Amino acid sequence: MKEGESGIVSLSDEELMLRVKGDSPCAFEELVRRYQKRVINIAYRFTSEESASEDVAQEVFCRLWEHRRSYVPSARFSTFLYRVTANFCISEYRSQRRRQEVHIERKEEEADFEFPSEESSPQSGVERGELEEKVKSAVAALPESQRMAVILSRYEGLSYVEIAEVMGTTVEAVKSLLVRARVSLKERLSRFLKEK
């Protein structure tokens, strides 16, 4: 660490970002350390691809550094970073939606042949793993905005207000996205559960 940067770990996210705005690489490294796993998790849940999620995280932090001077601490830093992440995921992967849907459909068809026999209990690890895969596939098949709303709500624990800030929309729009997503997920997953 540079001289004068030794207390950087105790600074708030917003204070760190203000230092990043003033060209502090140490403050930037600390923000990356604090948020890299979260950004990768959001990207992974959005893309369903481990290598793509790491690429997204790298690009998000590059953009954060490139646009550091435009940062205004009007909201929590985490909200700001989630917004950058959400916008990047949606814009970069919108063009790949058709390819992903084909991949998901093929994966679901293949998974049908791997279902355990009738003797296996609903508590078995195999079934739990299959259900996790079905949930992952069902979330990945949602339209981009619904998918991001579900990820931010279910996996990141953000409130409707925070999700609205991240996605640049209204609370009512977030509620609508989540309702539609839940209906779609329920429909997809109920088919799987009926098959069991």
Q: pLDDT tens digits for 52-96?
A: 899 999 999 999 999 898 888 887 899 989 999 998 888 877 656
pLDDT at 158 over 70: yes
- Answer with the residue of higher pLDDT: 128 or 49: 49
**What integer pLDDT is reported at residue 94 of this predicted model?**
66
Stretch 158-186: mean pLDDT, rounded?
93
Give, for 37, the enclosing helix (H) or strand (E). helix 25-47
Question: Domain 8-195 is in which class?
Answer: mainly alpha
Query: CB burial class (10 A; 0-12, 13-18, 19+) of residue 91?
Result: exposed
CA distance 171 to 144: 17
Domain extents in the chain: 8-195
pLDDT confidence of 6, banded at 50, 70, 90? low
**What integer pLDDT is reported at residue 180 of this predicted model?**
93
- Answer with the residue of higher pLDDT: 157 or 102: 157
